[in-house]
Structure 1
Amino acid sequence: MSGESFRVDLRGIVDILSHHLYSSPRVYLRELMQNARDAVVARSELDPTAPQEIAVEVEDGGAVLVRDHGIGLTEEEMRSVLATIGASSKRSDFTRVRRQYLGQFGIGLLSCFLIADRIEVRSRSARSADAPTMSWVGSSDGTFTITPAETPLPDAGTEVRVQARADDREWVDPVRVRLLAERFASLLELPISLRTTPRQPAELVSTRTPPWRTSDFEAAEWCRRELGFTPLAMLPVDVPTAGVVGVAFISDSPGRVGNRHGDTVYSHGMFVADDNVQLAPNWAYFVRLAVEGGGLPLTASRESLQDSSAIGEVKAQIGTQLRQGIEHFALRDPVGFDRFMDVHAKGILAMAAGDDDMLDLVIGHVPWETSEGTMTLAQILRISDDVQYTASMTDFTAFAPLLRARKALLVNGSYVYGSEILRKVRERRGHAARVRAFDPHSFVDELPEPSDDDAAARGFESQARIVLDRLGVDLDLREFAPASTPSLFVAAPSEQYRGQPADADAEADPWADLLSAPASPPTRPRLVMNVSSEAVRSLGQVRDERVRAEAISGLYVIGLLRAGETLDERHGELLSSTLHTLIAAAGSRE
């Protein structure tokens, strides 16, 4: 039984390339420059003194020509490499330097059929001084011819000419070719010249210094030009074991948490992608990388990196370097770091809620509002053995002065993800006894009450209860500092403060209303009056009950304001009535 070869429909292969492998026909120019570059590298192994220039020319009539002084091809190599999909002369002859190559000549040349029906190749091998120049002409119908070239090349190398179809002339337009050449080859170390018309001089489109090797000013200019923003900071990235090197630009806008914009990746200087998300952790949503991929292998399309264990290792190391870089940034440039935190603190808190490594960054560098001023959690834990936090902005506003007076520390955890972060800090070993949630009701219950024989404190109690009852509020007389705080509004306790967390997933019991004990009346808000306050103690000396009632109403509104509660129209009218009565009473005494 004899074996048979697969039959390949070249038009079908081109359709697969255009719809499933390559993202755009534009890759034809990248593949031609990659092949030329690889051929030059291969020849340099044989002759380091060989010329290394690559020329790209746009010809009249809708054709592009790419010429190199590389290793070249013999007639047999043309037959095996150019006519066999996936073949590469580099496999057998240059295995030891395989990592230096970008492409694969056979399949790369096929990409030209995305825009053309005819490809012409002239090549002269560098393996012998008298090698002839051979011509290979391939057609999109799957046929090719190999003949001695009518016009020999003066030196070893290869010349590829691609004649675009009429419908695809846009891809060989001089302006388009310049944009593509500069996009793909700007960082290649080999000189690539571009001539867009026969009458124009050639211009160099490669050998530009990558942003990770330039000055900070030039790197920032690259970021503005290529990524569209002015970086808040630039952090170095270097993973020598994988040959990965680059720079991380910190964005100047908040962005979306967990939604990373793509990174710009090169391979041996050739542009690969500007939407890569394989090399940085998800928490680094505010970072854009520009990196040389080094030894990381590319996919068949050369438009992304192959997923591998090496990718995971590089990603982990880059994540570590980013965290360390941010910490160094905080130390060396406090002003710049403050700008960074103004833009990205919310997002960093969001990521730290689910990432322990980011939690360390938050503990060390994110500022928090406290009853003693703004400070980081690391500073807070150094100065206090009893740290309390609240998830309510109204509680923080109302109680921060009271805790400050008692030399205790209250942290405002009302910001987005704030309470989650503080709970995680509490759960850390060594912090559990020092960090706890603040319970305003327990705090008030522990404040001392005035004695029963304190006439100044008890003289107005009965009337105050009547006034506040009409307002739907309970009275609570307590003694606390500072005395400048006459009243404190405390909202009705939620389930979390009662110690009975609601179970949202519990199934309702239809017999509960009939079989359970009568429900206790709902707990109302309370107004805590500070009997240390001169204004409060003076209420007992006011003989006019109407004036005293209005004053009590005024203390209620003051309590609301100090707690940060929103006042409605009813409260405005109440405050207006109180002021009118007190002003009139003061005037009648004169």
Structure 2
Amino acid sequence: MEHRFQVDLRGIVDLLSHHLYASPRVFARELVQNATDAITARREAEPDWVGGTVRIEPTADGGLRVHDDGIGLTEPQVHTFLASVGRTSKRDDLGFARQDFLGQFGIGLLSCFMVADTVEVVTRSARGGPAVRWTGYADGRYTTEVDDAARGPVGTTVTLRPRADAGHWLAADQVRDLVRDYARLLDVPVLFCPPAGEPVRLTEPQAPWEVVHADPAARREALLDYGATLLGARPMDVIDLRVPEAGLVGVGFVLPSPSTVGQGGHRVYLKRMLLSDDASKLLPEWAFFVRCVVDTSVLRPTASREALYEDDLLGAVRDGLGGQIRSWLLELSVSQPERLAAFLRVHHLGVKALAVRDDEMLRLVDSWLPFETSRGMMPLRLFRQHLAMIRYVETVDEFRSLAAIASAAGTPIVNAGYAYDAEILQRLPRLDPAIRTRRLDPGELAARLESLSPGQLAVAETFLATARTVLTELDCVPQLRQFDPVTVPALYVLGQAAREQDSVRRAVAGSDELWSEVLSAFADVNVDHRPELVFNWRHPLIRRLAGQPAGAALRNAVEALYGQALLAGHHPLRAVDSAALNRSFLALLDRAFTDPATGPDTPAEEAP
């Protein structure tokens, strides 16, 4: 036996309001959308017809009335399209191509029940027949009646009577602002008719990018002014966007301040009706410095008509728009380097993200984007002149500790501690096979520092012997070199091999017995790679310590220099390192406040 599903209209309205639509505000869009489609349908059916206006009228009882002079409905169509939940759309059954219309899902009228208890539709069809009054109620009932006197001309009037808890949605100012926001770009006149006062047109005959200006400069200024109203601040620049296969046209605004990675905030119109003012995934991830305002006639909306459906066409649009933004950047580099420099100061992160995958953008970054180097801020193309090898470090702390010393050693380095920098440096050979890049091994840098003469080494023999004894307990070896700047007394150098071995040792020290044995298997037991503490002979303190006799004071000095070098290089401290630093600090303080003649200070006697 065949049965039909029973439909609970209240349940459907609850589903719409809580799970499909983000807000009840969409009722305004659906009303204007249906009215506009009715006008479009009549224009298709009557090519010589010259009408087409939508009128929005607040009513005295707090309700809302929407008139259109579109194609209207016959009585059978009223039953078919207004009282059937789940039918695709009246546009197909009326014989018109779907792509010519705004609506796609045929549930727009139901959205009105999110703000109204009663929805009344009075309509007369352009195909003839009497006017029909349809009244729907939120509890699922509806009535129809032929009312030839209800509406003389062809068209449709929809009247909403508000729910007790939704009156604010139908307030005159609220409705006016909602309709203007949604329908601003429609080519159909939409008039807001307040109870007192002249009608106000809420739509504009042309989109801002369609307006013709006297010259390109005037057009650019007008679009920047438009962008300022949308963004709250004047954009840096405007980019014309067009993807014909998606029927997409519009503009992209370059944000005037740094933005976080992440896509959103694009204003998308579908057939000139606002789809979303916070659309995402319209641009590639790297182009997060651009906010778009576009109109499309082909891209598919989601069922709620509040976002774009992710499909192959949207992916192609994303690639196409990304290519146009990329071309804009390349054009700036050729014809307007000052504007490019200003842009890079603000949005270098997005450009670097693109350079990681695009050779032309890599070339732009190489030529124009300043990098932090031991020679100062400069583009990579300038930095690498007269260098056989570009050496870089991958952390900011490592660069800060090594930059001055690397320059003094004749090994300039690049700070690749920021996002995408290391990947960009590794890709540079794609521009020219002669370019060679390599991460700097600090052990290699230490070997380039100037050695001491035999006489200097003889003077420092006792100091070096004490340093070896102290540092052996800390898994480190001493070196004595002379280098600039003289303000650095000691440098902690962790070469690549030592870094790997040190990582294993730290892991072993922090693991239980079983895991310690497993991790120990990864350690190279045949070669002893340990960090180096390089003392700077040019520093007055080191030369002074070299003349001191062996003893506790010299041991404490070595421990203090070791701890200070770790801290200066932002290296992590192990428990043994912290203990050595604390021990030396307290011992040196104690020695500083001890009188050699009387011994440690004792508390003074209280005054009588």
TM-score band w.r.t. shorter chain:
0.7 to 0.9
C-alpha distance in 1 between matches for 2:78 and 2:104: 14
Q: Secondary structure at the match of 1:177?
A: helix
How far did residue 420 of structure 1 move?
Answer: 5.0
C-alpha distance in 2 between matches for 1:415 and 1:104: 47
Q: Secondary structure at the match of 2:73?
A: coil
Identify the match of residue 192 of structure 2 among 181, 191, 194.
Answer: 194
C-alpha distance in 2 between matches for 1:281 and 1:88: 34
Identify the match of residue 254 of structure 1 among 253, 258, 267.
Answer: 258
How far did residue 236 of structure 1 move?
Answer: 2.5
Deviations 1:409-444 (A, max 9, x none): 42122335544543x437869669700011232133
How far did residue 251 of structure 1 move?
Answer: 2.8
Letter in 2 for 1:444: A
Residues 439 and 497 in structure 1, CA contact (< 8 A), matched pair in contact too: no
Letter in 2 for 1:527: F
Residue in 2 aligned with 1:462? 461
Residues 35 and 104 in structure 1, CA contact (< 8 A), matched pair in contact too: no
State whether structure 2 residue 508 is matched by structure 1 residue 508. Answer: no
State whether structure 2 residue 163 is matched by structure 1 residue 170. Answer: no
Residue in 2 aligned with 1:230? 234
Deviations 1:320-370 (A, max 9, x none): 223333343455554444444333335665787799997676545432022
Identify the match of residue 305 of structure 2 among 302, 305, 311.
Answer: 302
C-alpha distance in 2 between matches for 1:469 and 1:462: 11
Letter in 2 for 1:203: V
How far did residue 244 of structure 1 move?
Answer: 1.2
Residue in 1 aligned with 2:215? none
State whether structure 2 residue 136 is matched by structure 1 residue 135. Answer: no
How far did residue 73 of structure 1 move?
Answer: 1.9
Residues 362 and 428 in structure 2, CA contact (< 8 A), matched pair in contact too: no
> Structure 1 residues 47, 437: CA separation in 2 closer, same or farther (over 3 Å shift)?
same
C-alpha distance in 1 between matches for 2:326 and 2:520: 56
C-alpha distance in 1 between matches for 2:452 and 2:469: 24
Residue in 1 aligned with 2:347? 344
Residues 242 and 250 in structure 2, CA contact (< 8 A), matched pair in contact too: yes
Residue in 1 aligned with 2:574? none
Letter in 2 for 1:254: P
Residue in 2 aligned with 1:15? 14
C-alpha distance in 1 between matches for 2:532 and 2:482: 21
How far did residue 56 of structure 1 move?
Answer: 0.7
> Structure 1 residues 145, 451: CA separation in 2 closer, same or farther (over 3 Å shift)?
same
Deviations 1:53-100 (A, max 9, x none): 21111111022111112122222322322222325332144434x212
C-alpha distance in 1 between matches for 2:291 and 2:151: 48
Using the TM superposition, name which of 347-356 and 282-291 deviates more: 347-356
Residue in 2 aligned with 1:146? 145
Deviations 1:561-585 (A, max 9, x none): 9x9668x9999x99xx9xxxxxxxx
How far did residue 471 of structure 1 move?
Answer: 9.4
Q: How does 1:506-585 map to 2 (within 5 A)?
A: 508-510=515-517, 523-529=531-537
Residues 25 and 114 in structure 1, CA contact (< 8 A), matched pair in contact too: yes
> Structure 1 residues 99, 440: CA separation in 2 closer, same or farther (over 3 Å shift)?
same
C-alpha distance in 2 between matches for 1:326 and 1:51: 46
Residue in 2 aligned with 1:281? 284
Deviations 1:478-512 (A, max 9, x none): 577x8x86877431325555664846699724499
Letter in 1 for 2:272: G
Q: Secondary structure at the match of 1:71?
A: coil
How far did residue 206 of structure 1 move?
Answer: 0.7
How far did residue 536 of structure 1 move?
Answer: 12
State whether structure 2 residue 75 is matched by structure 1 residue 71. Answer: no
State whether structure 2 residue 242 is matched by structure 1 residue 245. Answer: no
Aligned residues: 554
Identity of aligned residues (%): 32
User: How large is the RMSD of aligned CA atoms in angstroms?
Assistant: 4.6
Q: Secondary structure at the match of 1:508?
A: helix
> Structure 1 residues 406, 315: CA separation in 2 closer, same or farther (over 3 Å shift)?
same
Q: Secondary structure at the match of 1:288?
A: strand
Residue in 1 aligned with 2:439? 437
How far did residue 266 of structure 1 move?
Answer: 0.8
How far did residue 276 of structure 1 move?
Answer: 1.4
C-alpha distance in 1 between matches for 2:124 and 2:520: 95
Q: Secondary structure at the match of 2:78?
A: helix
C-alpha distance in 1 between matches for 2:277 and 2:210: 19
C-alpha distance in 1 between matches for 2:248 and 2:309: 14
TM-score by length of 2: 0.76
C-alpha distance in 1 between matches for 2:3 and 2:197: 52
Residues 33 and 102 in structure 2, CA contact (< 8 A), matched pair in contact too: yes
Residue in 2 aligned with 1:377? 380
Residue in 1 aligned with 2:224? 220
C-alpha distance in 2 between matches for 1:395 and 1:88: 64
Using the TM superposition, name which of 304-313 and 471-480 deviates more: 471-480
> Structure 1 residues 185, 486: CA separation in 2 closer, same or farther (over 3 Å shift)?
closer
C-alpha distance in 2 between matches for 1:357 and 1:297: 32
Letter in 2 for 1:529: W
Using the TM superposition, name which of 335-344 and 115-124 deviates more: 335-344
Deviations 1:157-210 (A, max 9, x none): 2221122223321111111111111111112122111013x2121111111643
Residues 254 and 347 in structure 1, CA contact (< 8 A), matched pair in contact too: no
C-alpha distance in 2 between matches for 1:317 and 1:230: 25
Residues 263 and 283 in structure 2, CA contact (< 8 A), matched pair in contact too: no
Deviations 1:112-132 (A, max 9, x none): 22222322222222235xx54
Residue in 2 aligned with 1:181? 179
C-alpha distance in 2 between matches for 1:322 and 1:210: 21
Q: Secondary structure at the match of 1:298?
A: coil
Residue in 2 aligned with 1:491? 492
Letter in 2 for 1:69: D
Residue in 2 aligned with 1:122? 122
Q: Secondary structure at the match of 1:188?
A: coil
How far did residue 149 of structure 1 move?
Answer: 2.9
Identify the match of residue 201 of structure 2 among 188, 201, 204.
Answer: 204
How far did residue 388 of structure 1 move?
Answer: 0.7
Structure 2 residues without counterparts, runs of 5 or longer: 212-218, 571-580, 592-608
C-alpha distance in 1 between matches for 2:15 and 2:417: 54
Letter in 2 for 1:491: Y
C-alpha distance in 2 between matches for 1:445 and 1:406: 9
Letter in 1 for 2:268: V
> Structure 1 residues 396, 307: CA separation in 2 closer, same or farther (over 3 Å shift)?
closer
Letter in 1 for 2:307: S
Letter in 1 for 2:107: I
Using the TM superposition, name which of 158-167 and 322-331 deviates more: 322-331
How far did residue 273 of structure 1 move?
Answer: 1.0
C-alpha distance in 2 between matches for 1:105 and 1:261: 25
Q: Secondary structure at the match of 1:30?
A: helix
Q: Secondary structure at the match of 1:66?
A: strand
Q: Secondary structure at the match of 2:144?
A: strand
C-alpha distance in 2 between matches for 1:314 and 1:281: 10
C-alpha distance in 1 between matches for 2:501 and 2:423: 20
> Structure 1 residues 339, 496: CA separation in 2 closer, same or farther (over 3 Å shift)?
farther
How far did residue 243 of structure 1 move?
Answer: 0.9
Residues 498 and 531 in structure 2, CA contact (< 8 A), matched pair in contact too: no
Letter in 2 for 1:302: R
Structure 1 residues without counterparts, runs of 5 or longer: 578-590
